[in-house]
Amino acid sequence: MWSKMVAIARREWAAYFNSPVAYVFIVIFLVLTGFMTFSVARFYEAGQADLRSFFFWHPWLYLILAPAAAMRAWAEERRSGTIELLFSAGVRPWEAILGKFLASWLFLALALVLTFPMVLTVGYLGRPDYGAIAGGYLGSLLLAGAYLAAGQCTSACTRNQVVSFVLAVVLGLFLLLAGYPPVTDMLSRWAPGWLVAGVAGFSVMPPYDALQRGVIDLRDLVYFASLIGVLLFATERILAARGLGR
């Protein structure tokens, strides 16, 4: 299993960098994170040597950029007809799913690593809490994985990459806003308390906020691992429902 999964991951990784898409994506990510941190959040005017304003924008950036990175995962395979060749070569669905997910996750991890000058900046300006910074990076990486898994799931639903992108944004927006007071207040007007609590429990923000503060709780790690696992399992079920990979 592992050899084929790694081969798929290498294939997908190479596909990113065989075109200008990867470089444009990374540049856009770095420019947007810098703009949001320094211009919108006014990093220097805040007078605090931490990266809270930097990590604050990541859920919103990933909401757009992660679906863009994942939308071609299965939609392009189905559109071009190479998905049948992939599975007829003896590759199992889970090997392909995990390989594609791993490649896209490592790609976003690379973009995240390239923001390391931000750490050097706050280290130069003051004495930051490096534990909170490490927790923020971990939370950002796990959040990216959740959005990418959602993008894989929606990509398996359609041959059209644009449709996959829109569906992934909608799903990501639900995961982002599910626990916000305006949403829960609106639901509480007509829905029972257990349903409101259930919807709020899907929100990625409470565990992400905790990791931003440097609080690494096993429950938050389990939440992200479970969310990613469920979305990847849904991807496998969607492919099976279409008669692919059997």
Tell me which of 188 and 157 has the higher pLDDT. 157
Q: How many whole angstroms separate alpha carbon 146 and alpha carbon 226?
A: 9
Q: How many whole angstroms separate alpha carbon 170 and alpha carbon 175?
A: 9
pLDDT in tens, 132-165: 899 999 999 999 999 999 999 998 888 888 888 9
- The Cβ of residue 108 has, within 10 Å, a number of other Cβ atoms equal to 24
pLDDT of amino acid 202: 80
- Tell me whether residue 75 is in a domain: yes
pLDDT of amino acid 12: 85
pLDDT of amino acid 1: 58
Quote the Cα angle for 157-32-175, to 5°.
Answer: 40
Percentage above 70 pLDDT, the chain? 90
Q: How many whole angstroms separate alpha carbon 216 and alpha carbon 27?
A: 30
- Tell me whether residue 195 is in a domain: yes
- Tell me whether residue 246 is in a domain: no
pLDDT of amino acid 167: 92
- pTM score: 0.90
**Based on the structure, what is the number of domains in the chain?**
1
pLDDT of amino acid 230: 93
Instruction: Report whether pLDDT(124) > 70.
Output: yes
According to DSSP, residue 159 is labeled S
pLDDT of amino acid 29: 92
- Tell me whether residue 91 is in a domain: yes
Q: Which of 146, 144, 130, 123 is nearest to 225 (CA)?
A: 146
Residue range of the domain that includes 201: 2-241
Instruction: Please report how many Cα atoms fall inside a 13 Å half-sphere around the Cα of residue 246, on the Cβ side.
Output: 8
Q: Which DSSP string do the residues of 88-140 spell out, in sequence order?
A: HTT--HHHHHHHHHHHHHHHHHHHHHTTTHHHHHHHHHS---HHHHHHHHHHH
pLDDT in tens, 193-221: 767 677 777 888 889 999 998 888 899 99
- Tell me whether residue 146 is in a domain: yes
